[in-house]
Amino acid sequence: MGRMMCASPPRHGSLRSALLAWVLPALLCVSPLADACDGKATLHDATPKQVQAFVRSRHLDVLSFAGYSGAGYNDREVMLAQAKAVLSKFEPRRTLVNIGATEEGIGAVYELANGMGFATIGIVSVLAREQGVALSKCVDDVFFVRDTTWGGRLPGSSALSPTSTAIVRASRTIVGIGGGAIARDEMTAARRAGKRVIFVPADMDHERAREAARAKGQPAPTDFRGAAHAAFGPARTAHEGERSGHSR
């Protein structure tokens, strides 16, 4: 790993100093997208136990990100800044970053994690493959879990679906940046299992939520904070989550 991030051209100083400060480092650096985000993930069909066995074989702690997927984020750049602040507290040589394999919403964190030198995996329902959902180009290994749902609790049950079971069992820390019912269920189960849970409030994409409501003939939403917020916010910010006693 250890991928290098290229510097941006400076905005101040003489033209000569700007060129020296920008061009010379650029000659030594390779874009992480060109080098690692090639869309060539290794694909696996796996049960929750097989995912857990893979994780153990890597001897790394799994840091999972949960949040909005298709619902998107109202401020994507703020979400990425929040994710970067969390990632900066972990060591790439000791940490395996997991998200939901797909590129939408919280999946944008894959590119960020990749550029910071983290190895990445994606644990997702086999429905993603069956429905042709686009995977992130920056995920290293994708695990398709046989599941009739996308995750969360099974209908009419308090038990987690196979996909969410695999995520919770594999993770040492789960970070929710906003999130709907699936993120809520996974973080709740992780907390009950004594795992570290961090929650950062974030709004889903407002306009996308309004469009979804219109398509269903429902009233326009007025609350865009997601189901995870009701369970974990607003008191538990990222820092409070670390102090809350949900230890690793």
In angstroms, the CA 196 to CA 38 distance is 32
pLDDT of residue 242: 42
Check pLDDT > 60 for residue 17: no
Looking at the chain, the whole-number percentage of residues with pLDDT higher than 70 is: 80
Overall average pLDDT of the 180-196 stretch: 97
Domain of residue 5 covers 1-30
Structural contact between residues 229 and 204, judged by C-beta atoms closer than 8 angstroms: no
Residues 118 and 166 in one domain: yes
pLDDT in tens, 173-185: 999 999 999 999 9
> Is residue 87 domain-shared with residue 14, that is, in the same domain?
no
Number of domains in the chain: 2
Q: pTM of this prediction? A: 0.80
pLDDT confidence of residue 69: 94
Which of 38-42, 87-91, 140-144, 242-246 comes out lowest in average pLDDT? 242-246
Asked if 54 and 15 sit in the same domain, the reply is no
Give the pLDDT score at 178: 97
Residues 24-49: tens digit of each pLDDT: 444 334 333 335 688 899 999 999 99
Q: Which CATH number characterizes residue 169's domain?
A: 3.40.50.450
- Is the domain of 149 the same as that of 96? yes
